[in-house]
Structure 1
Amino acid sequence: MGSMTRTKATEAMWSERVRAWRESGETAEEFARSRGFAASTLHGWSSRRAYADMPRSVATYSREYGDWPLCVAVSML
């Protein structure tokens, strides 16, 4: 298996684990411990998925400036 295929397989596996964790109602620590991996790894992949799900401009801003962007609502008066 090539490294690109292995990387995609790893991303798919962790995406599924993050989805299952979010649906489980368990804490990250409970979920990870019962399945034999570290909660910190689950958190890391969860953050990675959050960036992947953001619009590209927001994700780029967040990576460049190291902070979640603030959302500002503007109303027209």
Structure 2
Amino acid sequence: MALIVDCPTCKAKVEWQTDNEYRPFCSKRCQLIDLGEWADESNKISQPITPEVVMSEEMLDALEGEFLQNNKFFVEPE
């Protein structure tokens, strides 16, 4: 049974499938309308920005290692 969601822009019913390149949107048009709303700052994340955390070299190295492990497309072929 496929999951059916509402398009965030026009509220049309959309089947959530991997072959739908526009999901969760119903079409390229709705996807671009949403992008435009973000670009003109009509949409924004409502959570306040937290204060910066000072990171040590060890913390950065650990984050980089974890990122590269989970995102193999950033690793150059040997």
* Fold conserved between structures, TM > 0.5: no
Structure with more helix by fraction: 1
Higher Rg: 2
TM bin (shorter chain): under 0.3
RCO comparison, higher one (Cα < 8 Å, 6+): 1
